[in-house]
């Protein structure tokens, strides 16, 4: 069999068998061959400092030796069972200990599944049908989640705009859209609609942070109107703090979803809430009419569970989050300093553990304001970073605990070149 050696050959093969030549996640013009620590290599052998880190899961870096050891110990004992296993139970216990809103959890294989079930759970518990979400908020691939995720046209709130073909018109009638960071808009919608089951929100919406008091304001409004508050912590869980955004911002939702870091790099996600809400997964307690059926072939997979357990153990060690934030501050500062020196308007938007740059003088408080004045400038900036060994998404930079001082110096050099490319 002919051995494929070059990236261009792999790209051609992908184009033949994959729609748009890719998995649907990232630029199909790059094929990653391997990752180790803070670095990844493409099929041509080009080396990059990895600030994409699998879109967030690899907080410890690639191939962390303790995680690999735990996985290799589990593999000969069994890879999946479709039955309860002790490692999955241990991981559930660790999540309950870490996350304020969780008394019980259910496992799934992806964050999108977790978000879908969280919406369904809120409806089962409240008996109501409508979901309030925020323009630009990402909650997976369900029909409800694909409402006003990235609308290309601005419409009046609370109209929902589907972002995908194949979604029935009736779905939009069950989803209300509000601008992020606007409590008055949310309050007005809750006053006008008495059939809202839940408000679903990313506590850090993509990279847009909540204004002071905003999340607590949502909590208070939900309590006032007997509406559930869902935190989508697929990204923020175990990243912003060990207890996620709930710990970082001091606000506890009714339901949360977790993923990415939770599985230590393997396919695993979860949703959790108090025991009263979670009883809807138990037919013996709520009966057939109140039962929420949920199953999945790989839910609670023991290999993913041991990877998650070891990752969480490492994250609990003293100074871990201080180091992560120190790395994030260094990455923010080097870019801001370089851009200020040449007078390029910009905003660093996000948290030290997850952020990026908007090339704008304007505010970054919601989907409509968090934009580049010149999108091409951002495209050039990111392309230059990649050309000089920095691998990241066009709109996010994920620091990891694997980043070294050498990585930071190389990144600083790439940033200087990227800034020069847009002057």
- Find out whether 308 and 266 touch, Cβ atoms under 8 Å: yes
Give strand pairing partners of 70: none
Q: Catalytic annotation on 77? A: no
Distance of CA 220 to the CA centre of its chain: 25
Q: Catalytic annotation on 396? A: no
Residue written as token pair 């120190």:
326
295-299's contacts with Cβ under 8 Å and 24+ in sequence apart are 296/107, 296/108, 296/109, 296/113, 297/80, 297/82, 297/109, 298/80, 298/109, 298/267, 298/268, 299/106, 299/107, 299/108, 299/109
Q: Catalytic annotation on 260? A: yes
Active-site residue, from 138, 214, 367, 381: 138
- Find out whether 168 and 143 touch, Cβ atoms under 8 Å: yes
Active-site residue, from 182, 232, 356, 366: 232
Active-site residue, from 87, 130, 133, 260: 260
Distances (CA, A) of 158 to 118, 121, 161, 193, 366: 21, 23, 10, 11, 15
List the structure tokens of 249. 């911002």
Beta-carbon contacts of residue 85 (< 8 Å; ≥ 6 apart): 78, 300, 302, 305
Provide the annotated active-site residues: 138, 232, 260
């Amino acid at each position: 069999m002919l051995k494929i050696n070059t990236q261009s050959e792999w790209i051609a093969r992908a184009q033949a068998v994959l729609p748009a030549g890719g998995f649907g996640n990232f630029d199909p013009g790059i094929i990653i061959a391997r990752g180790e620590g803070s670095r990844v290599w493409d099929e041509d052998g080009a080396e990059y400092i990895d600030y994409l880190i699998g879109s967030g899961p690899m907080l410890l870096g690639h191939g962390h030796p303790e995680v690999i050891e735990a996985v290799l110990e589990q593999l000969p004992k069994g890879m999946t069972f479709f039955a309860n296993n002790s490692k999955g139970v241990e991981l559930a216990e660790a999540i309950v200990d870490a996350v304020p809103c969780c008394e019980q959890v259910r496992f799934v294989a992806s964050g999108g599944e977790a978000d879908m079930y969280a919406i369904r759970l809120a409806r089962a518990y409240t008996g109501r049908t409508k979901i309030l979400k925020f323009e630009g908020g990402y909650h997976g691939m369900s029909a409800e989640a694909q409402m006003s995720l990235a609308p290309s046209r601005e419409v009046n709130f609370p109209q929902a705009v589907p972002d995908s073909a194949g979604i029935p018109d009736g779905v939009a009638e069950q989803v209300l859209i509000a601008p992020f960071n606007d409590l008055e808009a949310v309050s007005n919608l809750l006053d006008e609609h008495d059939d809202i089951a839940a408000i679903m929100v990313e506590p850090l919406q993509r990279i847009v942070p909540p204004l002071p008091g905003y999340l607590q304001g949502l909590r208070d409004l939900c309590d006032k109107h007997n509406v559930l508050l869902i935190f989508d912590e697929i990204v923020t869980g175990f990243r912003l703090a060990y207890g996620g955004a709930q710990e970082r911002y001091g606000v506890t939702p009714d339901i949360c979803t977790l993923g990415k870091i939770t599985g230590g790099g393997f396919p695993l996600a979860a949703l959790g809430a108090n025991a009263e809400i979670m009883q809807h997964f138990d037919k013996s307690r709520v009966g057939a009419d109140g039962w929420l059926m949920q199953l999945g072939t790989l839910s609670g997979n023991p290999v993913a569970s041991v990877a998650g357990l070891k990752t969480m153990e490492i994250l609990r060690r003293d100074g871990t989050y201080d180091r992560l934030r120190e790395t994030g501050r260094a990455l923010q500062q080097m870019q801001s300093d370089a851009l200020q020196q040449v007078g390029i308007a910009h905003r660093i938007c996000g948290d030290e553990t997850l952020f990026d740059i908007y090339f704008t003088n304007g505010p970054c408080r919601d989907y409509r304001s968090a934009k580049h004045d010149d999108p091409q400038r951002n495209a050039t900036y990111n392309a230059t970073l990649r050309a000089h060994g920095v691998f990241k998404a066009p709109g996010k930079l994920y620091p990891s605990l694997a980043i070294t001082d050498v990585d930071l110096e190389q990144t600083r050099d790439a940033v200087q070149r990227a800034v020069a490319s847009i002057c």
